[in-house]
Structure 1
Amino acid sequence: MFSQAVADAWFTPYGQGQTLVDNETCRIVVNPDAQHSHTTHFMAPPEQRVQILVGEQAAERIAPIPQGATVQDVQDALKTAGAETDEADRIHVYLPAALVGLRDQDAVRVLTQDDAEAFARFEAAADPDELDEAYVELDHWCVMGVFDGDELVAATSAYPWRESKLADIGVITRASHRRRGLAVQMVHAISREIVKRGYEPMYRAGVSNDASAGVALAAGMTRIGVWQQFRFGDGESVEQ
């Protein structure tokens, strides 16, 4: 159903390692990868039990974990032990058939450093919180935008997601140009460009941001689950 790239990034890792808990509500596996020793990942696919991947050091900090542990029990233990977290994300990808059906968007073009002045004006006009959440940067691996005359009115960027073959997409549209379908056009356009570069598109939307999640669904993407990472001070950040 999903591509190999999606399976490798979001499903296969949760089945690798030592199983600590396997009950009706969740499955907890200790991640043997030393690079992720201080992190814990929760993945909740639709209508399925939650998969939890715990780094070795993180597991030691919250041990023992009883066989009847629930997702909330594990999260509470992590917080009590001092782990930090960000808002959970709804993860969206394209099914292979939907990805093949995407078309180029004439209104959207690749941005370069020649567009730095226009991009700076675009950033200055944007809401700082929206800009931070969208995480669209001119120096990202792939950047595209839509112009109205000489003014950049919408932008999207993507960067490779960790060690996977997925590229994480961010989108932001100037308030004056919303409800015109520009966000969906940009997702289609940058997804096509991502595929040309040998990767597959992925779109994260915070669980509190229904508008952002709506863009992914309107663009034809499929939600594969809700993901949240907990990390201790020596663990990696969510953007890595």
Structure 2
Amino acid sequence: MTNYAAVITDFWQTMFRGDVRYGDETVTVTANPDLAHDRRAMVLETVEGPAALVVTPDLAERLDFSGRPDLSELRRRLSDVDITLHGADHLFYFTRAARDRLLAEGPADHVRQLTRQDVDLFDAFTSSASESDLDDAFVELDHWAVFGVFEDGRLVAAASMYPWQKSTLADVGVLTLPSYRGRGHARHVVRAICRYAYHQRHQPQYRCQLDNDASVALARSAGLTRFGQWDVVAE
């Protein structure tokens, strides 16, 4: 994980800190009494290194660690104690080298930051998108940062960010109108908003569901590298 900024690896180590209740070469289970109710069970699988499961102490007491269970078996045993996980998200970040290339890059002429004065443009943009696309992208004009791509004076793609988990990580969502896809707009707007995040001393974070192949392809084309996947208890 040395390819990533220390703030990223430190964040995830802190999220999964606790008293070790079980561990082998593939997974470590910790118990943390400070977990919020909606974070009472979380799983992190990184590209490098063993997986991690953190739970509240009461869940740790109820879990069965006999027989050297692997992560898939631990997931099943969580369901035995009425814990269902939401379904993992990919986690993408810029490596240090990719960050340096991004920061050395100039802005694209057709991409700019959006403000509240762009409300009419933004409303016209969202009215042209489907409800499912809007829900999946979670791009909002009142987020911490918002950038848009324009074609012939029309807003055709947008990305927004908000600080995530009370940290310096900034979670990004992106949406391109269907008839304007395949033109590189999403890549340009993601890189623009991530460059802005770095200038504001935040670390860009890109999350998407495991089966969203188009979003995975976008993350990679924008220069991000897969760090791992994160899952959390479903409510």
Determine the C-alpha separation between the residues in 1 that align with 2:85 and 2:118.
Answer: 35
**Is the Cα–Cα contact under 8 Å of residues 21 and 69 in structure 1 kept in the other structure?**
no
Deviation of 1:84 (Å): 4.2
Q: SS in structure 2 opposite 1:65?
A: coil
1:154 Cα deviation after fit: 0.2
Task: Supply the distance in 1 between the matched residues of 2:191 and 2:126 (Cα, whole angstroms).
Answer: 22
Name the residue aligned to 1:86. 86
Distance 1:37 1:153, change over 3 A: closer
Residue-by-residue CA offset, 1:91-123 (whole Å, 9 max, x unaligned): 000112211211222221111111112211211
On the 8 A contact 1:31/1:37 being kept in 2, the answer is no
Shift of 1:156: 0.1
Matching of residue 181 in structure 1 with residue 184 in structure 2: yes
1:30 positional shift: 1.1
Residue 116 of structure 2 corresponds to residue 113 of structure 1: yes
2:229 paired with 1:226? yes
Question: Deviations 1:130-151 (Å, cap 9, x if unpaired)?
Answer: 2111111111111110122342
| 8 Å contact kept, 1:34–1:56 | no
**Contiguous gaps of at least 5 residues in structure 2:** none
The yes-or-no answer on 1:201 pairing with 2:220 is no
2:169 aligned residue: 166
Alignment check: 8 A CA contact 1:5 1:164 kept: no
Amino acid at match of 2:227: I
Partners of 1:162 and 1:137 in 2: how far apart?
Answer: 18
State the SS of the aligned residue for 1:79: helix
The match for 1:238 is: none
Alignment partner of 1:154 is 2:157: yes
Aligned to 1:10: 12
Distance, in Å, in 2 between the alignment partners of 1:38 and 1:182 is: 35
Q: Aligned residues, how many?
A: 230
Contact 1:169 1:204 in 2 (8 A): yes
Matches of 1:111 and 1:65, distance apart in 2:
51
CA gap of 1:90–1:17, structure 2 versus 1, over 3 A, is same
Q: Tell me the distance in 1 between the aligned counterparts of 2:82 and 2:127.
A: 36
**1:44 equivalenced with 2:45 (yes/no):** yes
Structure 1 runs (4+) greater than 4 angstroms displaced: none
In the TM superposition, what is the alpha-carbon distance from 1:38 to its structure 2 partner? Answer: 5.0
One-letter amino acid of the structure 1 residue matched with residue 164 of structure 2: W
SS of residue paired to 2:36: helix
Give per-residue Cα distances to partners, 1:197-218, cap 9 Å, x unaligned. 1101110011010110111111
Question: CA 1:153–1:81 in 2, change beyond 3 Å: closer, same or farther?
Answer: same
Q: Which secondary structure does the structure 2 equivalent of 1:101 belong to?
A: helix
Cα distance between partner residues in 2 of 1:192 and 1:220: 12
Contact kept, 8 Å, 1:93 with 1:222, in 2: the verdict is yes
SS in 2 for 1:85: coil
**Hey, what's the Cα distance between the residues in 2 that align with 1:160 and 1:67?**
41
Percent same amino acid at aligned positions?
35
- Residue 33 of structure 1: how far off its partner (Å): 2.2
Q: 1:223 to 1:180 in 2, by over 3 A?
A: same
Q: Which residue of 1 aligns with 2:70?
A: 70
Secondary structure of residue in 1 paired with 2:55: strand
Aligned to 2:32: 31
Change (3 A) 1:113 1:58: farther
Change in CA separation of 1:57 and 1:143 when aligned onto 2, cut-off 3 Å: farther
Measured in 2, the distance between the counterparts of 1:195 and 1:38 equals 27
Structure 1 residue ranges without an equivalent (≥5): 234-240
- Distance of 2:201 and 2:217 partners within structure 1: 26
Q: Supply the distance in 2 between the matched residues of 1:67 and 1:55 (Cα, whole angstroms).
A: 22
Computed over aligned residues only, the root mean square deviation of the Cα atoms, in angstroms, reads: 2.0
Distance 1:227 1:51 in 2: 10
